[in-house]
Structure 1
Amino acid sequence: MTFLVTTVTANAPVGRFIVEHLLDLGRKVRTLSLDPASANLPPADILAGDLGDARGIKAALHGVEAVFLPAVVRGFAKTFLAAAREAGVRRIVFQSSGAVGQDNRIGAIHAGLEQQIRASGLEWTFLRLAIGSGDPLQWAFDVPGQLAAGDVVRGPYARAATSPVHPADLAAAVVACLTAPEHAGQIYDVTGPASLTHAEQITLIGQVLGRPLTYEELEPPVARRAISPHAPADVLFADWEEHLDVPAHLTATLQHLIDRPLHSPTAWAADLASRLRSAGAW
């Protein structure tokens, strides 16, 4: 049995951990990346390709039984799903969004993708990652760039709580869903194991780095203008405002799917700091 792991970016940590885990289990793994030359992935059958490229997808899917799809943009589904059926793929594990069911564009996009996957006739499992569990503060406000410039991170709502997920834990859940048939047809709501405010996250990262990091609040209108050109500000701000001085919603999904203890918040911060160092953020 061969598994196909697709990655949105070359250095996506979840994809790397999925590949490592499958290889450790002795499984055959193929990866599809837009930029294999710079992919931070273990030794595997790494192919260059795009999910919407019919020719590349056909080659990538040859002999594959199960596929991991990360949260992706619209436009790939029709081509990819047709190729998957033709190639004999049995199962798709899709990293969807916890915004499904909410009245916003992120929820609508992922709901549409889920519907197309359901209609494909393939087995499927949906892992709906909560909005606040994908480290939105880190990418929406370029925390790596801010840390490269100094010890102050500026963003909105210091007391807004989220539940960051260690990528190795999410990867282990994906592998469980890829390899165990009982997860077919299941929808799992995924969060991290602990509720942490924005300020607490930055403090943890500082402790790991041995730096006196502080979090400085930006006024919401200023922060919204800063990220609106390149991030779904309405969705993020709605989630942050809902959890302002309110603990993040937590689920036991990851622990249910994984047969080991989950990583602690400190381990999450250490992993993030290590990746930022490797990327030359400071």
Structure 2
Amino acid sequence: MMSLLLSFIFPPPESMVVWIMTVVSFVSVANSGFSEIRGKHLNYSKFWNANPTGKRQIRLSSKTGMLMLYTPAFLAGLASFWIFPREGIRSTFLQAAVTLHFFKRVFEVLFIHKYSSGMLLDSAIPISLSYFLSAATMTYAQHLTHGLPEPPINLFYPGIVLFVVGIIGNFYHHYLLSILRGNGEKEYKIPKGGLFDLVICPHYLFEIIIFYGISFISQTLYAFSFTLGTTFYLMGRSYVTRKWYLSKFEDFPKHVKAVIPFVF
């Protein structure tokens, strides 16, 4: 099993920090997905007030909250070009992919998304921290591979293809969501167009593809660990999103799955 793993990843790092982050990232992000299924939601979007505690909580506007989620990770990616300059094509593309992904999210928050709810600070902080640490650790783990022999199976070029497909698909479906409601409208509607006719969260599907693209570009244990945890989280979040639509709309098409067409 280990020999198969080492055929497509760089040797695991000697850095204890990266080892700890590899385990913590996977466990915490994956557990968030299972928590979503159990009904304990991160409080943003449709579920911003899903877990009332009775105590006073700080509510942010959706726009402020979303900027808080993505800006630190974007800055971490940007800073990596200065901290780890010119360490080879794989490292440069990894830094570019991480930075571009979070820049796109900031751009969407500012110019694409329309908002109808809020976000609780208690949810914004751990999500923001998770993204920031993932961006920082991913670029640092890549730095530690500098000078090491390449993995026997090269996934770099398939990773670029996956990343481009993922980022275009994710942006397109975020755009479809943004034009679903007219100016001043805040009520939710059943999304249509693109892959919305097959799954209710195609933007999550393409975000998963983005992170697998990043993992293939990187080929580090940390990148794959974070991507696998993210997969579990987004599958859990999409599962409860589909349940929410089924509960709110009697005409919701039953054949529309959560995130994987025809499967889940």
Q: Specify the TM-score bucket, using the shorter chain as the normaliser.
A: under 0.3
TM-score (norm: length of structure 1): 0.25
Which is richer in helix? 2
Which is richer in strand? 1
